Amino acid sequence: MATIRPFKGVRYNPDKIDDLSAVISQPYDRVRHGLQDKYYAQSRYSIVRIIKGKEQAGDDEKNNVYTRARDYFNAWLQQGILMREDRPALYILHQTVTLPDGSKHTRQGMIAAFELARFDEGIVLPHERTLSGPKVDRLNLLRTTEVNFGHIFMLYPGNHINELLGQAIAGLRDSPQLPRRDAGQVPRRPVQRRFQLSHGHSGQHGRSRPRHPTHPPPDPLLHQDGYNSGARDIH
């Protein structure tokens, strides 16, 4: 059985960054065709400086893209550009898209800390074949910064988790800090809503909310994709 937990997320401080579109980026493996230069020019606090930093002449073991990523992260925290949540939380994400026929579809997911498990336990079903280069690159970033800057995209079956999440966020207001424009070339931009679920938060009627759903996913999770999205339903 998969075990998920709330965690203290780190996010941009809305008092310092009033437009997330200026600092967010495409996932690291899609930062190509001039996008890296574009993001660097948009803001000195662009996340691309951490997740896909530029190589420099003379890079060595003590000064390289990974050590600079660590230094950016630590400096932005100290300067208040980034802020860490006071309480552990689950982050519930709704993405609604309008299809060509005019109908709307909402994909619901959550961002959470996931407890590692042995492969032979069958808790997480594997991804297809992966490339060693990107895995080494992301592992180097993780080891140097000791921070996860991306998410593993996991799929879970059934509606029972969605029902629990729906009950947990009923009456909660979604986050106002969402991008004003696309971070890249997205043909049909989804409308995004994010809910922060933590112990002690109350809904419109003053009801106390649990820290996280009381029942973890009972079925195996499928490792669907790489380093960019949270767990989502597959029904």
pTM over 0.85: no
Task: Quote the CA–CA distance of 88 and 179 in Å, as a whole number.
Answer: 23
Element (H, E) at 80: none
- What is the rounded CA–CA span in Å between residue 194 and residue 227? 19
Query: Is the pLDDT higher at 99 or at 184?
Result: 99
231-233 and 153-156 beta bridge pairing: parallel
pLDDT at residue 197 greater than cutoff 60: yes
- Contact partners, residue 141, CB within 8 Å, separation at least 6: 51, 66, 69, 149
Looking at 67-81, 124-138, 182-196, which range is the least confident one? 182-196
Q: Over 50: is that where the pLDDT of 208 sits?
A: no
